[in-house]
């Protein structure tokens, strides 16, 4: 279980998170929605310790995430970054198998490569892609390689930052299904950021809407359509008019 409690984070005068509280039960899929620039990526990075919150607490399985053995903590996580964040000095399969080629999960290169190719297949990429370099791929392909890397070591907790942005509708469908599968079959806990309402309905057990640095609404995906919350309604119907200002 992941729990964020009253988390604050500012960058200079930019007060991004203003008391964010959110709970993600073990083995469920939480989708975070909200306008761009509202701090969704920052919230995920706080959990991973990539960004240090100014105040507030982050608990993973009841233990303070900032304390204790970082390596053991991070070994449980997989993260897909918004921009892919592939290592451009190494080939696609070496990116995907990064964790399997060094450290505690190290195994023979041939085996790691096989696993990498299998993960690539699961995100809809052919084995030929394995030996290319990230710079030779399109944006959508890079995103999927990032996704393959995030799931390669079969982590218990997976964060997806905009997994379907920049993909065609069919590929989006494949990725949505994959994320759902990972949660259901592997029993992983997932947090996904997305703007794509089709994705939300396909992936989510629970939905949380981030606005003005706090969670404006959270609940099961089935209740999303009749929440009565004007912010959420405006967002899911994509209306320019409403309580959320279009200029931010």
Partner 1 sequence: MTILLTPVARLGRAVLAAMGSVGRVALFFFSALGHIFRPPYYPRELLLAMLNIGWLSLPVVGLTAMFTGGALALQIYSGGARFNAESVVPQIVAIGMVRELGPVMAGLMIAARVTSSIAAEIATMKVTEQIDALVTLSTNPMKYLTVPRLLAGLITVPLLVGVGDVIGIAGGYFVATENLGFNAAAYLKNTMDFLESLDVISSLVKGCVFGGIATLMGCYYGMHSGRGAQGVGQATKSSVEAAAVLILAANFLITGAFFSV
User: Quick one: what does residue 86 bind among Mg ion, partner 1, ligand ADP, none, with the CB cut-off 5 to 8 Å set by partner type?
Assistant: partner 1
Rounded to whole angstroms, the maximal C-alpha distance in the chain is: 57
Quick check: 104 binds partner 1 (CB under 8 A)?
Answer: yes
User: Quick one: what does residue 37 bind among Mg ion, partner 1, ligand ADP, none, with the CB cut-off 5 to 8 Å set by partner type?
Assistant: ligand ADP
**String of contacts with partner 1 for each residue 79-98, x by CB under 8 A:** x-xxx-xxxx---------x
Quick check: 28 binds ligand ADP (CB under 6 A)?
Answer: no
Q: How far is the CB of 211 from ligand ADP (least distance, A)?
A: 10
Dist CA 80 CA 10 (whole Å): 23
DSSP result, 45-107: HHHHTSS--SEEEEEETTEETTSS-HHHHHTTEEEE-TT----TTS-HHHHHTGGGGSGGG--
Q: How many CB atoms lie within 10 A of CB 181?
A: 12
Q: Do residues 89 and 31 touch, judged by C-beta distance below 8 A? A: no
Binders of ligand ADP among residues 32 to 91 (CB under 6 A) are 36-42
Binding residues vs partner 1 (CB under 8 A): 45, 48-50, 71, 74-75, 77-79, 81-83, 85-88, 98-99, 102-104, 149
Binding residues vs ligand ADP (CB under 6 A): 11, 14, 16, 36-42
């Amino acid at each position: 279980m992941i729990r964020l409690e009253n988390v604050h984070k500012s960058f200079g005068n930019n007060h991004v998170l203003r008391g964010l509280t959110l709970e993600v039960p073990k083995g469920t899929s939480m989708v975070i929605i909200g306008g761009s620039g509202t701090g969704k990526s920052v919230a995920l990075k706080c959990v991973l310790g990539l960004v240090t919150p100014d105040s507030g607490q982050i608990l993973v399985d009841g233990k303070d995430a900032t304390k204790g053995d970082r390596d053991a903590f991070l070994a449980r996580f997989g993260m897909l970054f918004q921009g892919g964040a592939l290592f451009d000095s190494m080939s696609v399969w070496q990116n995907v198998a990064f964790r399997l080629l060094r450290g505690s999960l190290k195994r023979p290169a041939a085996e790691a490569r096989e696993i990498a190719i299998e993960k690539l297949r699961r995100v809809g990429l052919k084995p030929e892609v394995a030996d290319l370099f990230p710079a030779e791929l399109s944006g959508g392909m890079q995103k999927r390689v990032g996704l393959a890397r995030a799931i390669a070591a079969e982590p218990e907790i997976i964060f997806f930052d905009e997994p379907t942005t920049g993909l065609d509708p069919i590929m989006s469908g494949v990725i949505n299904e994959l994320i759902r599968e990972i949660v259901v079959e592997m029993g992983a806990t997932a947090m996904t950021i997305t703007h794509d309402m089709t994705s939300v309905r396909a992936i989510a057990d629970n939905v949380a809407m981030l606005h003005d640095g706090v969670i404006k609404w959270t609940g099961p995906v089935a209740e999303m359509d009749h929440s009565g919350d004007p912010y959420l309604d405006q967002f899911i119907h994509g209306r320019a008019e409403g309580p959320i200002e279009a200029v931010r």
